[in-house]
Structure 1
Amino acid sequence: MRSIQRQADSWQTPHSGYHWQGQTQRFFEGWYFRMTLPDCGQTFAFMYSIDDPAGGTPYSGGAAQILGAHEQYLCRTFPDVRSFWAWQDKLGLGHWGKNFCQQLPGYLSPDEFDRQIQEGYQVTATRHQGKLSDPTGKSVRWQYTVEPIYGWGNAKQQQSTAGALSFLPIFEPGWQILMAHGLASGWIEWNGDRYSFDRAPAYAEKNWGGAFPQKWFWINCNAFEQEPDLALTAGGGRRKVLGWMESVAMIGLHYRGQFYEFVPWNAQVHWEIHPWGDWLVWAENANYRVRVVGQTDRASTLVRVPTATGLEFACRDTTNGKVTVELWERATGKPILAASSDLAGLETGGTGWDDVWRSPTST
């Protein structure tokens, strides 16, 4: 476990730590952790958030949401912001509900957490643990470790997903992929069913800020049957830049030790996203071309996301979407990669989904 922690610390991505600096203005920070079980075709997505952590507003409080087996949904809120903790120098956070602990909230050893915390969670870059239940009788317990493989960027230099300017208060909200690919081992008990796993694909990202995206889409997969060393994330949205709104998108691939990045400052990125069911994103930079197609005929599952008026059901998700990704050399047209999966995360969120959303230059 210590060697895994040292590995995680050695390539920690920018923005891994908690961003709140004590301000009383509107603020949220959210974390997303996805773990895929290819053997049974299930995914568990853990979503944690904290709103207005200074307290005293109608939106102050935290939440833990899980999109679990068979895309069932569980949500628990934690109204007391004083029971939330997070590290500012690296990835680590947690929120306690009912507990027997006499100390201030913070990271506990796994055994101590099990004894002292009746309801809550704690997360680091290499360990995840928690227990939740709701009034309907749904319950979940989990404990697993993660071996990080890819952060965001090449092996020698981790990058900000939104570029170097994301360190400045220019873009709202901020977005950072914390771990494009890792391997998770442990167990989850979901409504009485126990899922044990060893070296299952894992993923992590976060967002934060005081403003909220109007509209977005997202595609993610790191469980490609024929290409185990492949991780894909693509996304786009309407974000605020110094008070102006702009539409941007990106595609990132980690494949066999190399990072292929298509972002507004180094590539032309195009998209055509339906309100639900079809996602198409394609891009080219100086050296490569890429095309990503996502599809689903499943009904979406609604999940809550931070908004200007607190957590609201403003996001549609599936964790069992179909995705294909193709990558070519631009100069020669030589194919580098062609892969597909039925275990993709697909999402549309926000407002304004009355019609197909096309990028301004997707002709």
Structure 2
Amino acid sequence: MAMSMTIACTGVLGRVAVYAPSRRGCVVKAESSAENNPVTGTSTPEGNALKDRVKSKQTAAAVYTPTLADRDTRTPHSGYHFDGTSRRFFEGWYFKVSIPEVKQSFAWMYSVEDPSVGSNSSASSLPFGELFQGMSFPGVGAQIMGADDKYLLQFDENVTKFWGSRHELALGYTFTPKGRVSPPMGEVNPQEFVNRVEEGFQVTPTWHQGCLRDNGKTDYAETVPIARWEYSTRPIYGWGDSGAEQKSTAGWLAALPVFEPHWQVCMAGGLSTGWIEWDGQRYEFEDAPSYSEKNWGGSFPLKWFWIQCNVFEGVSGEVALTAGGGRRGLPLVPGAYEEVAMVGIHYDGKFYEFVPWEGSVEWDISTWGSWKMSAKRDDYEVNLEATCDSPGCTLRAPTADLGLAPMCRDSFFGKLKLTIRNRSSGKMILDTTSDMCALEVGGGPWYNSWKTSARVQEPLKSLLRYSIDVERVFSPVPQLKPPGL
């Protein structure tokens, strides 16, 4: 699923090669590079050199490094938030790689639901288990939306094989172990993973590998039977200015179990190198723009939208956009809701954040095909317009009453125009476009266009304006630090 952001690799694009398997091994099906003439498609000496490298299979290799706790781009809420209670709970992660040279993207969506129920023999063994048994949906889901908006789903109700780091962005699951070996229950080196896991995944801020097989239970999307991948990532942006303390996407109140679901962009942008096997082709890439985010809580919002892009044209430097909004329930007020949204942009090392407790955010989203947003704060204003002609792909999301159910529609083929302007001087800070924007609508009902502005009620609006470093609060007593922070 999504609510996200990422980095544009402009100026110096990465490398990519696409192979199709054959009986003699891998045969080059298509190859491209940034040095090819973008208008005529004719090659240059640099492009020919890349082709020679592709044909000799001298592509860059993924490089594994263990997860470091003190990395510069680490954001709050990197860890797994499950606190052991029996309430309805999910946590979901989204990892994306875009390959501009072939105009394709891949996104992995992992989710774990009701781990307390799934780790017991029956729901009735929990407090009030019989009462809430019908509201529990234990399971681990792994979805991939890949090239040409095709889809893969693997799901298992057994949550005991899922592992997630309490305070770091690291998680994994084994659907099928190799032979009789035990599945990993923590981060392992890539070779050990291959030796112990037939079907499953492991992912950290700098490493992602796995193999998934579609379960054949999706009749509303074009599916791919099997996918394999292995790539390393060099994070560039977290969620904040480069070199500064990284921020909580939804403000410091995300440390409390209110305003669910919560949302955190873990890596606004990075550069990934490795390979993906998908739908009979093998994509090998170097320095491909990549992104990650997460959600957690009781379920997804009642209704939401999302705009995310990391590949832009006509601009130098690195650009990353994430925008999203939703209708969510208010804590302690049954049946009451609020509509909130935000826009976040990283550009040339600076973070431009537009949130409703510091300014205004407005949107006009159609049932499908048009996304418009504008936002202002004291010093800057942003406008974005996106359209999509592709029918998109239906994805699953954790819901309150159905579990992991078809609930949203996505596409990687959106067309986007984005501008940022200085309000006092009128100077245009950024004016750029893309034809690789990721777009989503979810929940409902979507009877017609959704046009409104964000409203945060008092006293919450005033509280969110305070800058509180929740992690620093717990630094003297790390043993009391809540899970997920």
What's the CA shift string for 1:33-56, capped at 9, x where partnerless? 111000000000100000001114
The 3 A distance-change label for structure 1 pair 302 and 149 is same
> Displacement, 1:347?
0.3
Trace 1:253-268 onto structure 2 (pairs within 5 A).
253-268=345-360
Other-structure match for 1:252: 344
Consecutive aligned runs of 4 or more in structure 1 exceeding 4 Å deviation: 1-8
Counterpart of 1:45 (choices 107, 124, 132) is 107
Secondary structure of 1:98's match? strand
Between the aligned partners of 1:34 and 1:264, the Cα distance in structure 2 is: 27
Q: Does 1:355 align with 2:448?
A: yes
Is the 8 Å Cα contact of residues 272 and 359 (structure 1) preserved in structure 2?
yes
Larger Rg: 2
Is the 8 Å Cα contact of residues 7 and 148 (structure 1) preserved in structure 2?
no
Other-structure match for 2:370: 278
What's the CA shift string for 1:87-125, capped at 9, x where partnerless? 011100011011033265222210111121010000000
Secondary structure of 1:299's match? coil
Counterpart of 2:307 (choices 211, 216, 219) is 219
Between the aligned partners of 2:156 and 2:304, the Cα distance in structure 1 is: 27
Between the aligned partners of 1:235 and 1:358, the Cα distance in structure 2 is: 13
In structure 1, the gaps of 5 or more residues are none
More strand by share: 1
> Displacement, 1:245?
1.2
Other-structure match for 1:180: 268
What's the CA shift string for 1:109-168, capped at 9, x where partnerless? 101111210100000000000001125571100000010000001121100110111111
> Displacement, 1:191?
2.4
In structure 2, the gaps of 5 or more residues are 1-62, 124-135, 217-223, 456-485
Q: Does 1:78 align with 2:151?
A: no
Q: Does 1:140 align with 2:220?
A: no
Trace 1:189-338 onto structure 2 (pairs within 5 A).
189-227=277-315, 228-242=317-331, 243=333, 244-308=336-400, 309-338=402-431
The 3 A distance-change label for structure 1 pair 317 and 165 is same
Secondary structure of 1:82's match? coil
Is the 8 Å Cα contact of residues 221 and 345 (structure 1) preserved in structure 2?
yes
Structure 2: which amino acid aligns with 1:253?
A: I
Other-structure match for 2:55: none
Secondary structure of 1:112's match? helix
Between the aligned partners of 2:250 and 2:225, the Cα distance in structure 1 is: 37
Q: TM-score, normalised by structure 1?
A: 0.96
Aligned residues: 362
Q: TM-score, normalised by structure 2?
A: 0.72
Between the aligned partners of 2:190 and 2:425, the Cα distance in structure 1 is: 53
Is the 8 Å Cα contact of residues 173 and 200 (structure 2) preserved in structure 1?
yes
> Displacement, 1:326?
0.4
Structure 2: which amino acid aligns with 1:141?
A: R
What's the CA shift string for 1:165-199, capped at 9, x where partnerless? 11112211000011111101000001221000000
Other-structure match for 1:63: 141
- Give the RMSD, CA atoms, in angstroms: 1.8
Trace 1:132-171 onto structure 2 (pairs within 5 A).
132-134=212-214, 138-155=225-242, 156-171=244-259
